[in-house]
Structure 1
């Protein structure tokens, strides 16, 4: 079986993390599993250099992207990372509502 065939058998975030050799803490995955997988997909989609890689090269690249996605949520959280559209829209709304303190002070 090829690397891509093996990937098709994976179902959970933990499956991907174990298969790709990424060390993880279960508590981080429990809270951020969908965000980690979405960010992983974002990184894969942005990687234009995977064409022509053999299975070993592909596995290394996938592992690096998953490690990076996982670490994003170790160091931060889903709201700050704005992984999903709902978070991105909320950030835009908050930016539109922001009033600097200087604007409230009399001149």
Structure 2
């Protein structure tokens, strides 16, 4: 069974870490699980289709480390498109009938 086949049936970030035998901090995964998995995929794409299990392990460990160290970038479109919310005090209006 190839590494791709082994990982294809997994559904949680924790299962990826366990299947690849990569240690992880549960708190980091709880906060950034989707970002870690997306970064993992990006790192694998850079390695090409012939990546072996060691390269998969290294990519997952690197993705986790980026977020554990606070270097991980929020890569989903919703984070890229969001604008900082600033509301001037002059723009505030009373709620209700006042």
Q: Could you state the TM-score of these two structures normalised by the residue count of structure 1?
A: 0.67
Q: What is residue 66 of structure 2 aligned with on the other side? A: 72
* Cα distance per residue 1:53-83 (max 9 Å; x no partner): 5xxxx100001100010011101166xx132
Number of aligned residue pairs: 84
Q: Which protein shows a greater Rg? A: 2
Q: Cα RMSD (Å) of the superposition?
A: 2.0
1:20 aligns with 2:20: yes
Q: Gapped runs of 5+ residues in structure 2?
A: 85-98
Mapping of residues 1-107 of structure 1, within 5 Å: 1-48=1-48, 50-51=49-50, 58-76=52-70, 81-90=73-82
Q: Does the 8 Å contact 2:20/2:57 carry over to 1? A: yes
Gaps of 5+ in 1: 95-107
